[in-house]
Chains A and B, each alone.
Chain A
Amino acid sequence: MMTELLLDLLLVVSLLLTALCALLAQDLFRAVVMFMAFGLLMALAWVRLQAPDIALAEAALGAGLTGVLLLDAVSHFRQSDSGAGSGESS
């Protein structure tokens, strides 16, 4: 009972922490990585709330695919940034 409560508290705290890190990170790449970590922790939270279906969807869609799409977007930004600075000449 006690350990479960502690685990849940740890989960809540780490969820809030990763969410804050994802929101406040200066580096976009770091924000995306934090977002993916948040997604995985959220999946754990769903499991703790006895909703394994949502946990599966969260892990696959929220952390996995959305993370990949966001990572892609970040690399897209970087490319267009460097492309505007130096890529034009080549």
Chain B
Amino acid sequence: MKLLLVLIAAVVLTVVLGQTAWQILAQPTPVDLRELVAEAMPDSGVAHPITAVLLNFRSYDTLLEIGVLVVAGMAGLSMRAVAPLEAPAMRTSDTLLQALLRWFVPFLLVLSAYLLWAGSDRSGGAFQAGAVLGATGVLLRLGGVPLDFLRPGLMLRLGLVLGFAVFLLVAVMGAIRGDMFLAYPQEWAGLLIVVIEAALTLSIAMVLVGLFAVAPAQATERDWPSREGKR
């Protein structure tokens, strides 16, 4: 009986979804966005259309996006006070992890920098680079390497808001110069985008590592003394 209900629900859902998809596909696109972007590319300051859209034509969305990330990071970090972030006993516990760390961390750092740089003329960009940098931080954290900058303090706060602050500063500078909010001066656009992306990368990585570091710290902390006691 239950199975029958699930089956009927699945069929109905498939039909509705299919019809919606069909209707969306049947509609002609009112504006050829590809064409529009290609026309405006010379003004954007970068050579990759997706980066141009994300950080120049629709930079308002990206600004709000990083704002949401920063707020999420702060909310996560303020949920609990974080005490020691690294378990010293973990540092020597796993030789394989240590060896991996030694190979992976430099590689990941270079990869992240490359992704950031590649964003200007091919696939890549701040979010991807930030994610890789964040993953590096998570790896370091798992290896028990002390990450002092993650302690609640000036460094953490600065790192969290750096991307948003730089972005907002550039946006407001445009408005002060008498241009529109978020309008970059044409000849500086490329440089400004790279600067913003670099700051965004740092902040995104910081938010991700921060969120990772806060949640499990409690568990390991509570867990460690008891495990030590058992030995």
Contact call B131/A57, Cβ cutoff below 8 A: yes
Nearest CB of chain B from residue A84's CB, rounded to whole Å: 12
Contact call A65/B215, Cβ cutoff below 8 A: no
Q: Given A52-B123, A90-B226, A72–B135 Cβ distance below 8 Å? A: no
Query: How many chain A residues touch the partner (CB < 8 A)?
Result: 20
Stretch of A4-12, A34-42, A73-81 with 4 or more beta carbons under 8 angstroms from chain B: A73-81
Q: Which residues in A have their C-beta under 8 angstroms from that of B135? A: 60, 64-65, 68
Q: Given A65-B135, A87-B226, A56–B211 Cβ distance below 8 Å? A: no
Instruction: Write the chain B residue with the least CB distance to A90.
Output: B226
Per DSSP, chain B at the interface is helix
In the bound assembly, the distance between CA atoms of A57 and B138 in angstroms comes to: 17
Which residues between 15 and 66 of chain A lie within 8 Å of chain B, taking CB atoms? Answer: 52-53, 55-57, 60-61, 64-65
Contact call B215/A60, Cβ cutoff below 8 A: no
In the bound assembly, the distance between CA atoms of A65 and B211 in angstroms comes to: 11
Taking the complex as formed, is A2 at the interface, i.e. its CB lies under 8 A from any CB of chain B?
no
Taking the complex as formed, is B184 at the interface, i.e. its CB lies under 8 A from any CB of chain A?
no
Contact call B125/A68, Cβ cutoff below 8 A: no
Q: Which residues in A have their C-beta under 8 angstroms from that of B229? A: 90
In the bound assembly, the distance between CA atoms of A73 and B115 in angstroms comes to: 29
Taking the complex as formed, is A69 at the interface, i.e. its CB lies under 8 A from any CB of chain B?
yes
Contact call B131/A76, Cβ cutoff below 8 A: no
Contact call B212/A57, Cβ cutoff below 8 A: no
Contact call A53/B226, Cβ cutoff below 8 A: no
Taking the complex as formed, is B134 at the interface, i.e. its CB lies under 8 A from any CB of chain A?
yes
Q: Which residues in B have their C-beta under 8 angstroms from that of A90? A: 226, 229-230
Nearest CB of chain A from residue B11's CB, rounded to whole Å: 16
In the bound assembly, the distance between CA atoms of A33 and B124 in angstroms comes to: 26
Contact call A60/B132, Cβ cutoff below 8 A: yes
Contact call B215/A57, Cβ cutoff below 8 A: no
Taking the complex as formed, is B216 at the interface, i.e. its CB lies under 8 A from any CB of chain A?
yes
Instruction: Write the chain A residue with the least CB distance to B216.
Output: A72
In the bound assembly, the distance between CA atoms of A73 and B212 in angstroms comes to: 10
Nearest CB of chain B from residue A76's CB, rounded to whole Å: 5
Can you name 4 extra interface pairs (CB under 8 A) apart from A60-B131, A65-B131, A90-B229? A60-B135, A75-B216, A76-B216, A79-B219
Q: Identify the A interface with B (CB < 8 A).
A: 52-53, 55-57, 60-61, 64-65, 68-69, 72-73, 75-76, 79-80, 83, 87, 90
Q: What 6 A-B pairs have minimum CB-CB distances, sorted nearest first? A: A60-B131, A52-B123, A56-B128, A61-B131, A72-B216, A53-B123
Return 28 A-B CB contacts under 8 Å, by A number: A52-B123, A53-B50, A53-B123, A55-B123, A56-B123, A56-B128, A57-B128, A57-B131, A60-B131, A60-B132, A60-B135, A61-B127, A61-B131, A64-B135, A65-B134, A68-B135, A68-B138, A69-B211, A69-B212, A72-B212, A72-B215, A72-B216, A75-B216, A75-B219, A79-B219, A87-B226, A90-B226, A90-B229
